[in-house]
Structure 1
Amino acid sequence: MALTAMLLAGDVMTGRGIDQILPHPSDPVLYEGYLTSAADYVRIAERANGPIPRGAGFDYVWGDALDLLAGPAPVLVNLETAVTRSDLHWPKGINYRMHPDNLPVLAAAGIDCCTLANNHVLDWGERGLLETLDVLAAAGIATAGAGRDATEAAAPAVLELAGGGRLLVHAASRPSSGVPAEWAAGEERPGVAFLPDGRPAETARLAARIAAGKRPGDIVVCSLHWGPNWGYGIDPTDRRLAHQLIEAGADVVCGHSSHHPKAAEVHRGKLVVYGCGDFLNDYEGIGTERGLRSDLSLLWMPVVDSADGSLAGLEMVPFRIRNFRLAAADSTEAAALHQVMDRECRRFGRGVALTDGRLRLELA
């Protein structure tokens, strides 16, 4: 059996507060009702957990995750920030941006592909999106889910696999994640790949692209930004969508938007993750929502059979965000994540074990 491993890191927010501690911070001005400066997020985190370095090295934020991220497996993240100098903010209340000169922070983690179909990539307008696309392309980082027009936004990222074959990454967003309908890419309009409610034809087109583009030996990941930020509920329409995409040829459906991890299931032998959770954010010190913790992260490490895309194994490595840096979760934090993930995954027929500090989805 030939196996293909990959790393899925969910939502990565290197803008706003995290951008401020990197070597080239953006203008910190914000347009939020809560705070008016991105530097305030740094100060709040410091009040909670102590000093955070300014001008930190580009590898700083990855902390204890760096060894895993720097390995040979391709790393896929949902990049929830514009990478831009644009000052033309979209009037939506929360606007993430990272200065383009801080882009090496992504290279430091060995990130191979950034999906961009989310509710922050156009926070600084079309100019901000176009600069994001240009900067990532110049750095050799593949993108999916956004583009200069609808055709480019719908096109998958294509990564060559070391053992032969390709990793195809499709990405799309749903309105339930807060993506404005106006952000949908058009024939001559930059934007994101968008799956509006009540439009089954759009889903059918995505399924058709997956089926048409897949060749023998390819592994297909479909990355979907869907659902609210908090809570463990899973919309039945999202579950039907995930199953439809698996049946069209996707080998992994990777969902995100929730600030904490949610359930995973196995459908027809293939992996569906309903919420990877935030991998890196700047929420440190601002509290939790109904006891849900956005400071606990998982790095998802699926292994699939290259012949048919079936799931051969899934490990989830727990981390805690502290001082805007990923630290290995301690035994209490790992146990808390295990309790939640075991409970949620059992809803779909699979338990989760905790062994040597790692969570493992039970396949047998």
Structure 2
Amino acid sequence: MGFVAFIAERGALLRNIWIAAVLVFLLPALSAHASDRLTVVLVGDTGLNAGGAPVDARGGWKGGRLVSGAEALAGIAPWLAGDVVFANLETTVMDRNDIAARDKMFVFRMHPQGAREFVAAGINVFSLANNHALDYGTRGAGETLAHVAAVPGLRAWPGLGRSREDAMRPHVFEMRGMRVAVSAAGNAGGGLPARAGHAGMLQERTDFPAVAARLKEETADLRILSVHYGREFDPLTDAVNVARFRREAAGAGATIVAGHHAHVAKGVEISGSHLVAYGLGNFLHLGTQNMARFDICRDFGLLLRVGYARGDEGLKVETVEAVPLTGMHLRVVPMEGAAALLRLEVLNYLGGQLDGEDARGLRFRPQADGSGLWCAAGATDARCVGWEEPEVSAREGEVAAACGRVVTRGSL
């Protein structure tokens, strides 16, 4: 080997050694930087078909025409960008129309293609525990469980199972180097244990403490507890459920409690180190009515984007974005302008009803895009520079009167 070739070879070897050494020091730092933030998106009741309508791979039925998931979600897709994106899937999932429905006012079924389209839009966690999970009996629930488990990109789908332990078991996955565990409890459960090909669900009213306790046993950086509960059309959360969520859920180590079922948005709080969304309202469900017919406390859904930073004591909430939604019955989009501002004032009023010992209802400062932003003290997010809690709305009396009305399905 000539002298020049020798020097070139040695030079290349030293360069490779230097690159390898640099990578040894940099990769852990880069990895830590990549996983020191986590964004969690939460939305409420979701489904892609009208009540009792046949399933069709081309979309769901609404007003006599087929609507695809891509069409219905196009206006909200940018807001679904996140690491963990949660929705309550309030429907059965099947590719057949020969399973008999239960005898009830509203029954929902959706083609598996609809579930795939929701996931393609960004959702990667479904709760399956709610009062429509058994609309087509335990056989329909078994179909749901089988089809949802086969959706590419879906990371968790708790709430249904073939045994009590199966229905209670948290679904666990890794995201950005963090361990995420998700559990779900819903109303109108039953059917456990279920025979082969069927599935059942635990009952929120009696099994909620056990589901929360089982979630606590799971080693995780982030624990999400989904709860389908309460009275429909009521934006206020009663003291019993507030105490229950703080005691059972936060006490069980749930990082996030995601509540739904009322079809309307409720207040959001930080209880200790835990975020509680008492009601997310509707997200996108073709089987629901147009909520625009209701008053300002009931005519919108809620999308939350929660920004976490990881420190020495684990994950900490730094920011919460609130996005009021409209068109949840057909094509869901964010509210804008004065309409969005007023609904943020509604959320701030509802948050104010949640203040208590070691708990603070969130107040959202309006942003230019129509969303609201809450920032924790010391948040490092650039949007939080100079952030202050908004003042009490001049329309608080109007908001309080609307939210205090008693609205039931029979009074509509």
TM-score, with structure 1 as normaliser: 0.81
Tell me the residue number matched to 2:255.
251
Deviates more, 1:137-146 or 1:301-310: 301-310
Rounded Cα–Cα distance in structure 1 between residues aligned with 2:202 and 2:279? 19
Please name the residue that 1:59 is paired with. 70
- Per-residue displacement from partner, 1:102-139 (whole Å, max 9, x unpaired)? 33322221221110110011111111111111111111
Query: Which of 157, 172, 175 is the equivalent residue of 1:143?
Result: 157
Aligned to 2:227: 224
In 2, Cα distance between equivalents of 1:131 and 1:191: 11
**Partners of 1:206 and 1:102 in 2: how far apart?**
28
- The SS at the match of 2:48 is coil
CA gap 1:207/1:292 in 2 versus in 1, 3 angstroms: closer
For 1:321 and 1:18, the matched residues in 2 are separated by 21
1:8 maps to 2:12: no
Q: What is the CA–CA distance in structure 1 between the aligned matches of 2:218 and 2:113, rounded to whole Å?
A: 35
In structure 2, the gaps of 5 or more residues are 1-32, 356-360, 378-412
1:310 counterpart SS class: strand
Cα shift readout 1:304-343 (whole Å, capped 9, x = no counterpart) = 3434333221101233217811223121220221121010
**Which residue of 2 is the match for residue 298 of structure 1?**
302
How many pairs does the alignment contain?
Answer: 326
Equivalent position amino acid for 1:42 in 2: G
**Which amino acid is 1:76 matched to?**
F
Structure 2: distance between partners of 1:319 and 1:285: 12
Residues 55-74 of structure 1, C-alpha deviations (whole Å, 9 max, x = no match): 544311112211232x3422
Q: 1:153 to 1:214 in 2, by over 3 A?
A: same
Q: Which residue of 1 aligns with 2:106?
A: 94
Determine the C-alpha separation between the residues in 2 that align with 1:298 and 1:81: 19
Amino-acid identity (%)? 26
Please say if 1:153 is aligned against 2:153.
no
- The question of whether the paired residues in 1 share the 8 Å contact of 2:162 and 2:200 is answered with yes
Q: Does the alignment pair 1:310 with 2:320?
A: no
Q: Which amino acid aligns with 2:203?
A: F
Partner Cα separation in structure 1 for residue 55 and residue 99 of structure 2:
19
Name which of 99, 103, 121 aligns with 2:115.
103
CA deviation map 1:231-278 (0-9, x unaligned): 123132322221122122111111111111101111112210100111
The equivalent residue for 1:50 is none
- 1:134 matches 2:146: yes
Structure 2 residue aligned with 1:361: 374
1:180 aligns with one of 173, 188, 202: 188
Is residue 236 of structure 1 aligned with residue 239 of structure 2? yes
- Tell me how far apart the structure 2 counterparts of residues 72 and 332 of structure 1 sit (CA, whole Å): 27
Classify 1:185/1:311 alpha carbon distance in 2 versus 1 (closer, same or farther; 3 Å).
farther
* 1:98 CA displacement: 0.8
Query: What amino acid sits opposite 1:190 in the alignment?
Result: A
Cα distance per residue 1:271-300 (max 9 Å; x no partner): 101001111123344764566534x22211
Counterparts of 2:57 and 2:170 in 1: how far apart (Å)?
A: 32
Alignment partners' CA distance in 2, 1:168 and 1:275: 20
Q: By how many angstroms is 1:153 displaced? A: 0.7
The match for 2:26 is none
Question: 1:23 and 1:209, CA in 2 relative to 1: closer, same or farther beyond 3 A?
Answer: closer
Partner-residue secondary structure (3-state), 2:147: helix
Return the letter of the residue paired with 1:93: M
Alpha carbons 1:208, 1:248 under 8 Å: kept:
yes
CA distance in 2: counterparts of 1:213 and 1:346, whole angstroms: 33
Contact 2:138 2:191 in 1 (8 A): no
Q: Give the aligned partner of residue 167 of structure 1.
A: 180
